[in-house]
Amino acid sequence: MSNKVDFLVIGSGIAGLSFALKAAQKGTVHIITKATEDESNTKYAQGGIAGVTYAPDSFEKHIQDTLSCGDGLCNEKIVRIVINESRQRIDELIAWGASFDKDQKEILIWQKKVGIVSIVYCIIKI
Ligand SMILES: Cc1cc2nc3c(=O)[nH]c(=O)nc-3n(C[C@H](O)[C@H](O)[C@H](O)COP(=O)(O)OP(=O)(O)OC[C@H]3O[C@@H](n4cnc5c(N)ncnc54)[C@H](O)[C@@H]3O)c2cc1C
């Protein structure tokens, strides 16, 4: 059996599914994955997603923290893209219906973390 599609996505974690959602606006998409469709590291992530949200936090502090913790292993260009787009990507996930913890007033819960350089390091609990 042959099946012709515009985009073939391998993997059904957050990377594959995010790409698939965007690619679906341009053409047909098929997703191939191992095990079951929801079996991925993404399914088990629960600590939260880091994102730069408000002063005194800053993109540059997150970038320096990440490079410092990476101890020379990080690709700085990629680190800069990931951190500079962090809030956009989180908003995108929320718009797609990702479920994050909210307080009694239905406001997203942000946790404060202290990094090496960052004064405030915010994450959303999943
Ligand atoms: C217990 C746990 C807790 C975590 N907590 C956090 C957290 O709090 N915050 C955070 O930012 N990150 C956390 N992580 C890391 C985070 O889950 C991953 O970085 C992220 O989910 C990776 O997404 P991904 O789409 O790249 O990969 P995955 O979610 O792993 O998806 C990979 C997909 O590829 C498929 N696949 C693999 N090999 C093949 C193959 N040969 N053929 C076809 N399909 C294949 C898999 O089945 C899966 O669907 C956690 C991870 C774990 C395991």
The domain segmentation of the chain, as residue ranges, is 1-44, 45-126
Q: DSSP characters for 68-116?
A: HHHTT-S-HHHHHHHHHTHHHHHHHHHHTT----B-TTSPBPEEEE--S
117 close to 103: Cβ distance less than 8 angstroms: no
Tens of pLDDT along 47-76? 778 888 777 778 998 899 889 988 899 999
Tens of pLDDT along 80-123? 999 999 889 888 988 998 877 777 887 777 766 665 555 444 45
For the chain, give the percent of residues with pLDDT over 70.
87
Query: Is there an atom of ligand 1 within 6 Å of 123 CB?
Result: no
Picking from 93, 91, 95, 83, the residue whose alpha carbon sits closest to that of residue 121 is: 83
State the distance from the centre of ligand 1 to the C-alpha of 49, rounded, in angstroms.
14
Query: Is there an atom of ligand 1 within 6 Å of 8 CB?
Result: no
State the distance from the centre of ligand 1 to the C-alpha of 41, rounded, in angstroms.
3
Please provide the size of the chain in residues: 126
